[in-house]
Amino acid sequence: MTIAATMPAVRASELTLRYGRTLALDSVAFTLREGVTGLLGPNGAGKTTLLRIIATALAPDSGQLTVLGADPRTGSGRLAVRRRLGYLPQDPGFHPGFTAFEFVDYVAILKELTDRRARHQEARRVLAAVGMERQAGKRIRALSGGMRQRVALAAALVGDPDLLILDEPTVGLDPEQRMRFREVIAELGERRTVLLSTHQTEEVMALCQRVIVLDRGTVRFEGQPGELADLAAGRVWTSGAREPGALASWRTGSGLYRHVGDPPPGADLVTPTVEDGYLLFVDPPATHGGEGA
Ligand SMILES: Nc1ncnc2c1ncn2[C@@H]1O[C@H](COP(=O)(O)OP(=O)(O)O)[C@@H](O)[C@H]1O
Ligand SMILES: [Mg+2]
């Protein structure tokens, strides 16, 4: 392996950002390497804010950030990052009158692919990568939500970027579309650094080699999904009734109740999942004691 391949694609420390009085990110630190990393957290955790900062669409109030060896605080650093970055925003702004091909081609122009033939070839390549070659001539407004999302991913793939930032890429997709998306993302992660945000632990289990748990602007966990699950060992049990004292307690399909929290002596402990580990780090809204807490 070359030194470049082992260098972290993103290195962040003490990243802080406020929107007025809202502290969206509070001294966030992490390192990203090759493979697929999940940025897992509930709505409002600060995921989009963090991804926008890495994508150089937003500057932090303070902290250090290196992306692909460049410093996004400088104009030349931002340009260097943008040339090697693919970004799928949470709400991609489409021109609904464009066809899928025109949209991707337009993104390629912004990415400085000036040679028309090479650019058109690249547009066809990325549309094929997401299985949209046959809909290339359709207008965006005539496409389903899942197809639009695939076109947005195709746009992020233009120029074969080294770093892919995907903000909730599978939201709104049906199970079959989600599976196809996972195939594409997993393959991309074999040679690149992919950071995708999600609020679903299922997505992390299906795709991610690493996971960063973000909650209320703070990193709660960084490691492998299996390690997140292991942290809940001894704290998940089943019984025949609800346990009001547990962090979470619910009746499962089998009729047994499953609980996460502090088990009573002699409890029937079960093997924890990624979701159980996640529940321990992120307070469920019910325990926040309402909006004013
Ligand atoms: N443009 C904005 N102006 C004011 N507050 C914002 C803005 N964008 C996000 N926020 C707030 O910052 C926090 C983090 O938001 P966001 O990064 O969108 O989280 P997530 O993507 O995890 O849902 C939330 O409390 C949200 O309401
Ligand atoms: Mg978001």
For ligand 1, whether the C-beta of 146 sits within 6 Å is: no
Q: Whose CA is nearest to atom 14 of ligand 1?
A: 46
Within a domain: residue 125?
yes
Tell me the β-bridge partners of 235: none
Q: Which residue has the higher pLDDT, 286 or 140?
A: 140
Tokens 């058109």, located at residue: 120
**Which two three-digit tokens encode residue 263?**
């088990």
Ligand 1 atom with the shortest distance to the CA of 50: 17
pLDDT for position 107? 93
Task: Please identify, among 201, 219, 237, the residue that sits at the C-terminal boundary of a domain.
Answer: 219
pLDDT tens across 230-259, in order?
A: 999 999 999 999 998 899 899 999 999 999
pLDDT for position 5? 53
Domain check: are 5 and 46 in the same one? Answer: yes
Check if the beta carbon of residue 32 is closer than 8 Å to that of residue 193. yes
Distance (Å) from CA 50 to ligand 2 centroid: 9
Domain check: are 135 and 21 in the same one? Answer: no
Supply the CATH number for residue 179's domain.
Answer: 3.40.50.300
Q: Which of 28, 39, 49 to mutate to test the pocket of ligand 1 (most atoms within 8 A of CB)?
A: 49
Domain check: are 63 and 172 in the same one? Answer: yes
Domain check: are 174 and 31 in the same one? Answer: yes
Other beta carbons less than 10 A from residue 47's beta carbon = 25
Distance (Å) from CA 52 to ligand 1 centroid: 11
Within a domain: residue 224?
no
Within a domain: residue 116?
yes
d(CA 285, CA 269) in angstroms, rounded, equals 25
Range of the domain at 274: 229-288
d(CA 185, CA 221) in angstroms, rounded, equals 23
Q: Which residue has the higher pLDDT, 283 or 251?
A: 251
Task: Please identify, among 158, 178, 198, the residue that sits at the C-terminal boundary of a domain.
Answer: 158
281: which DSSP letter?
H
Q: Which residue has the higher pLDDT, 177 or 108?
A: 108
d(CA 278, CA 285) in angstroms, rounded, equals 13
For ligand 1, whether the C-beta of 47 sits within 6 Å is: yes
Q: What is the pTM of this model?
A: 0.91
Within a domain: residue 140?
yes
Within a domain: residue 124?
yes
pLDDT for position 174? 84
Least Cα distance to 29 among 56, 1, 43, 8 occurs for: 8
Ligand 2 is a single-atom ion; what residues have CB below 5 A from it?
47-48, 90
Task: Please identify, among 112, 133, 158, the residue that sits at the C-terminal boundary of a domain.
Answer: 158
Q: How many domains does the chain contain in total?
A: 3
Within a domain: residue 293?
no
pLDDT for position 178? 87
pLDDT for position 290? 38
Domain check: are 39 and 147 in the same one? Answer: no
Within a domain: residue 89?
no
Domain check: are 3 and 80 in the same one? Answer: yes
For ligand 1, whether the C-beta of 41 sits within 6 Å is: yes
Domain check: are 66 and 207 in the same one? Answer: yes
Domain check: are 254 and 143 in the same one? Answer: no
Q: What is the percent of the chain where pLDDT is above 70?
A: 94
Distance (Å) from CA 43 to ligand 2 centroid: 7
Distance (Å) from CA 247 to ligand 2 centroid: 25
Determine if residue 136 is left, alpha or beta; phi over 0 gives left, psi from -120 to 50 gives alpha, anything else beta. alpha
Ligand 1 atom with the shortest distance to the CA of 199: 22
Q: Residues with Cβ < 8 Å from 88, sequence gap 6 or more?
A: 152, 153, 155, 156, 164, 165, 166, 167, 169
Mean pLDDT, the chain, rounded, equals 91
Domain check: are 143 and 24 in the same one? Answer: no
Distance (Å) from CA 110 to ligand 2 centroid: 24
Distance (Å) from CA 196 to ligand 1 centroid: 17
Distance (Å) from CA 49 to ligand 1 centroid: 7
Domain check: are 109 and 239 in the same one? Answer: no
Helix (H, G, I), strand (E, B) or coil at 204: helix
pLDDT tens across 208-236, in order?
A: 999 999 999 999 999 999 999 999 999 99
Span between the terminal Cα atoms of the chain, in Å:
50
Q: What is the mean pLDDT of residues 121-129?
A: 95
Domain check: are 252 and 111 in the same one? Answer: no
Least Cα distance to 192 among 201, 184, 200 occurs for: 184
Domain check: are 170 and 153 in the same one? Answer: no
Within a domain: residue 188?
yes
Check if the beta carbon of residue 261 is closer than 8 Å to that of residue 224. no
Least Cα distance to 169 among 134, 135, 142, 208 occurs for: 208
For ligand 1, whether the C-beta of 44 sits within 6 Å is: yes
Ligand 1 atom with the shortest distance to the CA of 168: 21
